[in-house]
Each structure stands twice: as structure tokens, then as C-alpha cells.
Chain A
């Protein structure tokens, strides 16, 4: 559990982060969203003490981060810096190995971990291991940067716009991968983005920041249905609200028995995908299957009911 308590950071007269208090539960993904300059990066960097707060403190599992030497604290916390920050004079493998090397892991364990991570991010180890960062595309550099942050399997990870340079397809895959890895390892992730779509897709809880202040801290559904301020409502986007809501609900939640016409969709797809299938093929219901086995169908009416605003 990470307790952020009255954290404030000032640069001259500007309060980059203004008295932010929030609690991040162990094993969850918290996504910090906000416009550019709202203090997301600064908030994140105060957790691993890359910035020292003007006031307030951070406690990890009850102990204040101030009680640990900064560099020892940081070795326990994975950090993916905004804009990858790879070492240009080290190969991809050596970059990913950076933290395990600091922790004196044995060589063979490091090598195995490097290959495992490259594969996890759909990069062939044989092809990429010995390349230099300058020989990678922007998206590949960014994935190596995230792999480096994951390398030592830290319990807590801080990620600053880790998927900013990825195209939509790779990005969606990287997000799913991150979700999967996080659920498998039970790690805690604090991730910064300015993309509400990404926040809704990944987050257990979303923290919305505006001009250094935390304006709302709630699960995605609540952010969508009950935005605390006009700013949050703007971030969510009026027109997109019903669709965003649907994207949070898996088909399995409203599936009913019985067959339906046409191609089936998977039970873990979202209602947004189901709606899209209905509209595109002019159907009023689509069959649902789990692992290729039909388990029922979902109707357009059921989807509509879920998208409706319920105060």
C-alpha cells in the first residue's frame, strides 16, 4: 500500500503539485491523467524521491520513504522515464540488465531475464539483443525502456507515459501485456498518461490532476458517470461517455442463454465491441462464446441498458 500524504512541490511561485493525498492499494494499477503541465510527472518522481517534496510524505507499506537512502529506495522501484531514457552506449540487452546488474544478479539469470522480457514485448531476442538504442524505432525504444523498468520484478512500478510513442495496435497489445504481467505478478503500478482512453483501459483507479491538484480519484466507471468537476467531464468527453462506460463492462456480465445469428464474439470482449458488432452487421443480438464454446447471446437492448446514465 502506498500512502501519499499532503504531497506538495513548488518551483518558485508555481505549485507543480499541490497537497495531493491518495492511497494506492497493493496489486492495483493507478493511472494518473491530466493535461500537460498538470504535475503528473512531478507527483510520480516524488514517490521514488527523484524530487524531494516541499512538504508531505510518501509511505510504502507503512514506512516513510524518507527513512531509506534514496538510491536503495529506487532500486526497489521500477521506473520508466518519460521518453525512454535508454543509455545510448549500451546494447538493448545491457540496458534491460541495468537494474539486475546493480543488484548483482548472476549473469545467466540476467541473460535469461533479458530474453524473457524481449519476447514479452514481441521483440525477437536474437534480432534485438545486441542492437544499440539508436538502431531501434521510437516504439521499440519505448518498449525496451518499459522492459528495463520491469527487469528486476519490482513490487512497485512507476511509469511515465510508457506507451506514448506506440501506434494504436502495438499500444493496445502493450497495454494488454502490461495488464497480464501485472495480474500475474501482483505488482503495484502507478502510470502517467494524458490519454483518458488508456486510463480507462488499464486503471483500477484513476487520479485526475489539474494544475497540480488531485481533482478526482475514483474507479473508471465512477469517473465516467460522476465526474467531480467540469474539468474531469471534459477529460472524459461528453459524447464518448456511454461508449467508454460500455468498454468497461465484459460481455459475460449480460450474456443470456440461447442462440443468435451470425459470428460470435468472445465472452471477455467488452460491450463496446458487442455494440460495434451489432451495428456493423445490422443484428439485434450476437452470440457469445468462451474458448470457442457457445455460451449464449447478448442483445442490443441489454447493451443499451448498460450505456444509459443511472444517477
Chain B
């Protein structure tokens, strides 16, 4: 009985975020500008610097960084997600939701689901760019990719909810994320092969959840490409199964922490 009420409330809140996403198309489009710039600068620009095929014979450099672009795009969207929570709480709609007879856990879960939904929409659009960089994933690959994206988006959205429930102003939230996102991004294996970097970078990268997500994206996106054994061991750090387990554990911990923190919020 109680559960049915919570599901109805949660579904409605999820629907609201999705409805707004499709209504405010500018947000989807602007979310694509950053990855296109990244692809332009790092892909096409560095391709010449690095000389031809990049680090691997089988892959372009642009193909090499494409999974990283997906990862950072998903991470970036948590910022928007978290900012809307902070703004919504201080002067907006979230107060109406928080005063309703609905469990905070439901609200936190609805927000995380909305983050995952937004990520899937954005990655779908991003994948329209894939053929232009020479990646033509099959349906099966796309399904697996969406699963992996959902897994990462659960972790990052929960992180967004967690931080938003602890922070009062939109400015400090954005500030905090600016501070976090670049180290996460650069120390994740998105741009360079982790097997060849100094040990301390490798150590930090191994603590970074984005590393595992991007590794998983590579497993999935390159599964149609013939890689020789040397490239494969250089390119892919863990097994896909290890990646899934690690990201799932991180997601679970962040989800529990965010739900707890959200329900304690005044």
C-alpha cells in the first residue's frame, strides 16, 4: 500500500525531469557541444602530432578517446543534475516535494533515475557521432553500452544527489565540481594508455571510478574490432567483469550514502 504510493510519487518525479529534458532541447544540444570540441581538439588535432594512427595500429587516436568522451559526458551531466537539485531546493519546486508525504528515499531514487535517463538520452545522441569517427557498433554492442552507461550514471547521479544534499548554494556546488571533474577526467585513462604512465598516476587512476567505466566502454565499443594481443593488453586494463563489479559496488555505496544524506536533510 505504502509502496504503491511511493512508486507513484517517484514515477511522477522521474517523468517530470524527463519531460523537462525533452522540452528544453537546448540543454541536450549544449551538452553535445563539449564532446564535439573534445573530439575536434584531441582527436583531429592530436592525431597529427602523434603521427597517423596514434598509439595502436588498429585504432585512430580519435577512436581511442571516444569512450572517454562518453564517460566525461555522463560525468558532466551529474553537474547539471546536482545543480537543479540545489536550486530547486533553495527557491523552487523541490520544497513542494520535500513537504509532501513522500519518503526522502523515493525522492533520491527518482532523482538518480532521472540522471540515468538523461545520460541514456545524451549517449544515444552522442552515438550518432560514432560513425564519423569510424565506429559502427552493432545493436548488441549498443545494448551493452547502454547498460554500462546506466551503471556509471547511477554512480555519478548518486554522487550529485549526495553533494547536493550537503551543499546550500548553486555556486559552491559548481565550484566543487569544477574542482573534481578535471582530475577525475585526466586521471582516468581517457587520453593516455594507463599501462605506460608513471606508477603514481596509475595508482591514482586505479582509485578513480571513471577509469573502470571507460575501460568497460572500451571493452564494449572495440568488441567488433580485431585487436592483436599486444594492443589488447595495453588498451584494456581489467576484464569487463571486473569493471562491472567495481562500478556496481561504487554505485551501491554512493546510492546508499546519497539516500541517507538526503533523508537527513532539513
Do A and B share a complex?
A: no
Q: Which positions in A face B, CB cutoff 8 Å?
A: none
Q: Which positions in B face A, CB cutoff 8 Å?
A: none
